[in-house]
Amino acid sequence: MSAAAGPRRAGPSGKWPRAQGFPAESTVGGHAAVSRVSAAFDRAATQQRAALVGYIPAGFPSVDGGIEAALAMAAAGADVIEIGLPYSDPLIDGPVIQEAVHRALVGGTTVADVLRTVAALATAGVPTLVMTYWNPVDQHGVARFAADLARVGGSGLITPDLTPEEAGPWLAAAAEHQLDPVFLVAPSSSDARIELITSVCSGFVYAASLMGITGARNTLSSHAAGLVSRVREHTKLPVAVGLGVSNGAQAAQVAGFADGVIVGSAFVQRLLSASSPAEGLARVGELAAELAEGVRSGG
Cα gap 274→87, rounded to integer Å: 24
| Active-site entry in 42, 68, 79, 82 | 82
Confirm if 66 and 47 have CB atoms less than 8 A apart: no
Q: What is the sign, positive or negative, of the torsion defined by CA atoms of 206, 212, 215, 216?
A: negative
Q: What is the sign, positive or negative, of the torsion defined by CA atoms of 271, 272, 277, 282?
A: negative
Instruction: Judge whether 180 counts as a catalytic residue.
Output: no
246, 46, 33, 138: CA torsion to nearest 10: -10
Q: Which residues of 235-269 are buried (b: 16+ CB within 10 A; e: fewer)?
A: bbbbbbbbbbbbbbebbbbbbbbbbbbbbbbbbbb
Instruction: Judge whether 286 counts as a catalytic residue.
Output: no
Please enumerate, as own/partner, the contacts of 138-142 that have beta carbons within 8 Å and a separation of 24 or more.
140/111, 142/169, 142/170, 142/173
| Active-site entry in 42, 93, 148, 259 | 93
Query: Which residues are annotated as catalytic?
Result: 82, 93
